[in-house]
């Protein structure tokens, strides 16, 4: 970490005072080595500002005669990263997608704040494992270590502010990137500490532990899409909801373990505290996704939850997306017919999942050629599950892999082509079957769903495929 900070300081000192702004126009351009897409897309929050195609030399450029100063992000699928733009900037980048973030360099007018934010991001990624090792420490020692790391970075920001002629908004963004990153760990501390130390109760914290909360701002649109700020807000409301439920709600043994109650409580807290609409919409969306994707609750509870979500957020910008997720989950409950989804076999013929499972006990699992490690592990797992005594067939559904590559992978891995299929429409498949996480598998029989939310690596699945038990499967 010290070497990283020293390197960053040298960059700051070397770059200070570069460039004089002569025009209010904004120019943002660059070169991408080993491109993974033909386009670069510039976003402000969730909104696309502009997009451009790479030229023959893998270069791109944007020019704007009017743009709001602030934080943007550019996307070169599947990667994205921040870029701070303000009037008069003339900024260029160069990166290699083999090491997207690590190779990225900003040059030109506006480089100071962007290189600083980038190096903060890389330093945070680098030090995160070491920070998790400190969660075992006592609260006062834990706080002392985090504050020391924050002070080092704030000192660098002060040096850049003095020499680099940063605007007030740039300083605010940079400072928030530092402080909210560490405050987020503080919000996690009670729960991670209990897990690591295996304590039965949440540790009692010093009265000053949450002093930083006195300065929280729930209405700063400049920070809405800043990753450390958004992550902090999610952790903060998770913490506050838990503590509030444990002390105030009528819970059995005061134990907060009911996803239905917890997430409804969290919705109300966010709605009552957060002022900025975009931030509130995004946080409420996160709660809805967490509950619907992870709780695997009853249809009745799902319906009550979604009704309450709409009562609190009737004009949420994410309503359509959440409604589609809700409908998708409702359609894959136990005993329902598998959605009419089609995949291609090795001969290029379109076959429905219903037909594949007709008259058979089936486990559908998913893999992608882009994730070689997962592919290796999942096929090792299938080989151990798929034995002659099993009454199940194991059907692999490939996603996000070009057809020729998919066939090559199947052949090279010596997989049975009769058990391997490929989806041509990942979006349609995901909406219909809710492919989350990638380790998910769907257990079906004769076109009917037994459990749409099992896990290919779970121990219970291994027991179930050797001794078929509908009740056990439905609980898993």
**Same domain assignment for residues 321 and 364:** no
The residues with which 366 forms a beta bridge, in sequence order, are: 397
What is the phi-psi region of residue 441: left when phi exceeds 0, alpha when psi lies from -120 to 50, beta otherwise? beta
pLDDT number for residue 255: 60
Domain identity same for 71 and 122: yes
Beta-ladder partners of 397: 366, 421
Is the domain of 368 the same as that of 321?
no
**Ramachandran area for residue 110 (φ above 0: left; ψ -120 to 50: alpha; else beta):** left
| Structure tokens given for 242 | 């838990």
Average pLDDT estimate for 344-350: 95
Q: Is residue 321 part of a domain?
A: yes
Q: Are residues 32 and 153 in the same domain?
A: yes
* Per-residue confidence (pLDDT) for residue 246, from 0 to 100: 83
Q: Is the dihedral of CA 82, 87, 89, 93 positive or negative?
A: positive
pLDDT (0 to 100) of residue 474: 46
Three-state DSSP class for residue 64: strand
Nearest one of 395, 401, 402 to 352, comparing CA atoms:
395
- Please indicate, yes or no, whether residues 262 and 312 belong to a single structural domain of this protein: yes
Residue 458 lies in a domain: yes
pLDDT at position 470, please?
45
Q: Is the pLDDT of residue 59 over 70?
A: yes
Q: Read off the pLDDT of residues 364-404 as tens digits, 9 standing for 90 and up.
A: 999 999 899 999 999 999 999 987 567 899 999 999 899 99
Both 153 and 15 in one domain: the answer is yes
Residues 399 and 447 in one domain: yes
Q: Is residue 221 part of a domain?
A: no
Do 315 and 430 belong together in one domain? no
Q: Based on the fold, state whether residues 76 and 108 are members of the same structural domain.
A: yes
Position 192 in a domain: no
| Residue whose structure tokens are 């017919």 | 337
Query: What CATH number should be reported for the domain holding residue 383?
Result: 3.40.30.10
Q: 322 with 382, same domain?
A: no
- Host domain of residue 148: 2-174
Q: Report the domain count for the chain.
A: 3
Give per-residue pLDDT as tens, 110-121: 999 999 999 999
Residues with Cβ within 8 Å of residue 136, at least 6 apart in sequence: 193, 196, 197
In a domain, 182, yes or no: no
Last residue of a domain, one of 174, 207, 224: 174
User: 349 and 313: one domain?
Assistant: no
Report pLDDT digits (tens) over 279-322.
999 999 999 999 999 999 999 999 999 999 999 987 899 999 99
In this prediction, what percent of the chain has a pLDDT beyond 70?
91
The per-residue pLDDT for 5 is: 55
Residue 9 pLDDT > 90: no
How many Å apart are CA 176 and CA 185, to the nearest integer? 14
pLDDT digits (tens, 9 = 90+) for 407-437: 999 999 999 999 999 999 988 999 999 999 9
Task: Band the pLDDT of 471: cuts 50, 70, 90.
Answer: very low
- Residue 438: pLDDT band (50, 70, 90) is very high
The string of pLDDT tens digits covering residues 248-284 is 786 665 566 678 999 999 999 999 999 999 999 999 9
User: Are 360 and 322 contained in the same domain?
Assistant: no
**Which residue is it, tokens 């609409």?**
277
């Amino acid at each position: 970490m010290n070497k990283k900070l020293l390197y960053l300081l040298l960059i700051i000192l070397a770059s200070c005072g570069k460039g004089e702004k002569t025009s209010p126009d904004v120019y943002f351009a660059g070169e991408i080595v080993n491109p993974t897409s033909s386009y670069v897309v510039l976003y402000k929050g969730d909104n696309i500002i502009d997009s451009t195609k790479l030229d023959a030399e893998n270069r791109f450029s944007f020019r704007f005669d009017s743009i709001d100063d602030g934080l943007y992000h550019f996307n070169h699928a599947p990667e994205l990263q921040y870029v701070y733009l303000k009037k008069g900037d003339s900024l260029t980048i160069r990166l290699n997608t083999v090491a997207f973030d690590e190779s990225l360099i900003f040059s030109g007018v506006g480089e100071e704040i962007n290189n600083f934010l980038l190096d903060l991001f890389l330093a945070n990624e680098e030090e995160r494992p070491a920070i998790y090792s400190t969660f075992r420490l006592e609260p006062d020692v834990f706080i002392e270590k985090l504050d020391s790391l924050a002070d080092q970075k704030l000192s660098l920001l002060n040096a850049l502010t003095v020499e680099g002629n940063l605007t007030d908004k740039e300083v605010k963004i940079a400072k928030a990137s530092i402080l909210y990153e560490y405050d987020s760990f503080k919000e996690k501390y009670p729960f991670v500490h209990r897990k690591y130390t295996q304590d039965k109760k949440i540790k009692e914290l010093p009265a000053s532990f949450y002093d930083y909360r006195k300065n929280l701002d729930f209405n700063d649109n400049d920070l809405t899409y800043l990753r450390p700020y958004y992550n902090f807000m999610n952790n903060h409301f998770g913490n506050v909801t838990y503590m509030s439920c444990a002390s105030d709600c009528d819970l059995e043994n005061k134990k907060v373990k009911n996803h239905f109650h917890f997430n409804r409580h969290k919705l109300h807290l966010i709605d009552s505290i957060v002022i900025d609409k975009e931030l509130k919409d995004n946080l409420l969306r996160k709660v809805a996704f967490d509950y619907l994707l992870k709780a695997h609750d009853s249809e009745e509870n799902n319906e009550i939850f979604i009704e309450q979500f709409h009562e609190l957020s009737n004009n949420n910008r994410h309503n359509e997306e959440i409604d589609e997720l809700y409908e998708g989950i409702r359609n894959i409950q136990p005993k329902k017919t598998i959605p009419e989804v089609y995949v291609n076999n090795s001969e290029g013929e379109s076959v429905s999942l219903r037909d594949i499972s007709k008259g058979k006990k089936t486990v559908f699992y998913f893999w992608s050629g882009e994730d070689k490690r997962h592919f290796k592990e999942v096929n090792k797992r299938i080989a151990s599950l798929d034995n002659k005594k099993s009454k199940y067939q194991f059907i692999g559904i490939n996603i996000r892999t070009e057809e020729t590559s998919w066939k090559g992978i199947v052949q090279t891995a010596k997989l049975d082509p009769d058990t391997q299929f490929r989806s041509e429409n990942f979006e349609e498949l995901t909406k219909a079957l809710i492919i989350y996480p990638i380790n998910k598998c769907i257990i079906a029989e004769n076109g009917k769903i037994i459990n749409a939310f099992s896990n290919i690596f779970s121990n219970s699945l291994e027991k179930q495929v050797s001794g078929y038990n509908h009740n056990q499967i439905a609980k898993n």
